[in-house]
Amino acid sequence: MIYQIPFIAVIGLIAVGMYAILFKKNLIKIAIGITIVESGVNLFLITLGYREGGVAPIYTHLPPGTNIPEGMVLPVPQALTLTSIVIGVAVLALILSLIIKMYRKYGTLNAYEMRRLRE
């Protein structure tokens, strides 16, 4: 059970994020929703990489008594997560800058009032 809690959290985070994106009108809340989904996905990747008792594969900082190389983990998911976090920051920065432009133009953050394209 204890090992499944992170996966339940992943589903929970993605569901909360999707709820915010789908049902919230405020653009800032939509941006927050995207970051929550992203956190969920990152948590999923990092959970996949967890091995009980494994250590990071850094030869100079191994705890004494580690089996080489059986005790080490292959750090691919961690690398993926770092990359994904960096990309997420870029996306969030772009969304927020667009929202700022939008607010200056329309004077509101309500997505339902910004539908000039629908005309």
Task: 65-73: list long-range contacts, CB under 8 Å, 24+ apart.
Answer: 73/49
* Integer Cα distance of 71 and 26 in angstroms: 48
Return phi, psi of residue 71, to 5°. Answer: -80, -10
One symbol per residue from 13 to 52: x for binding other proteins (CB under 8 A), - otherwise; what is it?
-x------x-----x--x---x--xx--x--xx--x----
Residues 99-118 that bind other proteins (CB under 8 A): 99, 101-102, 105-106, 114-117
Instruction: Give the residue ranges of DSSP H helices in 1-119.
Output: 5-23, 27-48, 76-106
Residues in touch with other proteins (CB under 8 A): 14, 21, 27, 30, 34, 37-38, 41, 44-45, 48, 69-70, 74, 76-77, 80, 83-84, 87, 90-91, 94-95, 98-99, 101-102, 105-106, 114-117
